[in-house]
Amino acid sequence: MLKHTQELLDIMSRLRHPQEGCAWDLKQDFTSLVPYLIEEAYEVADAIERNDLDDLRSELGDLLLQVVFHSQIANERGLFNFEQVSEGICNKLIRRHPHVFAGAVFNTDEERQQAWEREKAIERQAKSKADEPKSVLSGVARNLPALIECEKIQDRAANHGFDWPDALPVFDKVLEELNEVKEAWQSGDQAHIQEEIGDLLLVAVNLARHLNVNAEVALKESTKKFSRRFQHIEQQVKASGLNLKDCDLAELDALWDQAKQALKLS
């Protein structure tokens, strides 16, 4: 094993030592570490988005720590260890890439993707419990961001024939769902409004799929664009000696249009 990999494992073991370890580290378990695991994954993504490669190296280390931390807890309970985690992912990568490791030939990306999905289906079947209902949707992580979970669920269904043939009918479905949101809003039934908003978001994700757009990335980019424009408005209002609350909506809308033009040229 590489020097610093073993050093990291030794440090984690010492931090979890019952008598000589760190009190905070000793209190942690699989569940308590979940928020940190998710946070570190997002911080890796943020470093990549900012193209900060020094920070990326650091954040990957923080994410690796979470893998080591979970592996250490599992080892203490006699479940598995870091070496077995590494072995598992090595075996999975080899299974899923028969064109690299087993001489298989795929003539198109579609053939390769179909083989990948078949292998994943076999893996899901092997992991499923006898009393669990069998479904092609089984195995999608419940803690994924909602847009990503929705896209994965729809991809699974589409791979088994449940999908529109192209984007055109999805546009119609978006309009249909939007009208149903308006009807729910007019009814004043908040639970119904929430349900219909959910349906609208779901079909918007479906439209994104058909247009080969990642819904999570698209929303992230639009949110950043909104933030840039709003910050431009803040700067203009501050320069005039006012506060945002001093301006009426018409004034803010005019500044928004200015921001769109100014940032489009920058």
Return the residue matching tokens 């994954």.
41
Q: What local confidence, expressed as pLDDT, does residue 87 receive?
A: 96
CB 127 within 8 A of CB 134: no
Lowest mean pLDDT among 71-75, 129-133, 234-238: 129-133
| 57: Cα within 13 Å, side-chain hemisphere | 2
Q: What local confidence, expressed as pLDDT, does residue 84 receive?
A: 97
CB 21 within 8 A of CB 51: no
Q: What local confidence, expressed as pLDDT, does residue 247 receive?
A: 86
Q: What local confidence, expressed as pLDDT, does residue 251 receive?
A: 87
The phi, psi pair for 214, rounded to 5°, reads -80, 115
**pLDDT class of 40 with cuts at 50, 70, 90:** very high
Q: Residue 110: pLDDT above 60?
A: yes
Q: CB atoms < 10 A from the CB of 184, how many?
A: 19
Q: What local confidence, expressed as pLDDT, does residue 131 receive?
A: 60
Q: Does 266 or 241 have the greater pLDDT score?
A: 241
Q: What local confidence, expressed as pLDDT, does residue 53 receive?
A: 96
The phi, psi pair for 55, rounded to 5°, reads -65, -35
Q: What local confidence, expressed as pLDDT, does residue 237 receive?
A: 86
Q: Give percent above pLDDT 70 in the chain.
A: 97
pLDDT digits (tens, 9 = 90+) for 41-74: 999 999 998 999 999 999 999 999 999 999 999 9
pLDDT digits (tens, 9 = 90+) for 145-170: 899 999 999 988 998 888 999 999 99
Q: Give percent above pLDDT 90 in the chain.
A: 60
CB 186 within 8 A of CB 192: no
- Looking at every residue in the chain, the average pLDDT score rounds to 90
d(CA 68, CA 5): 10
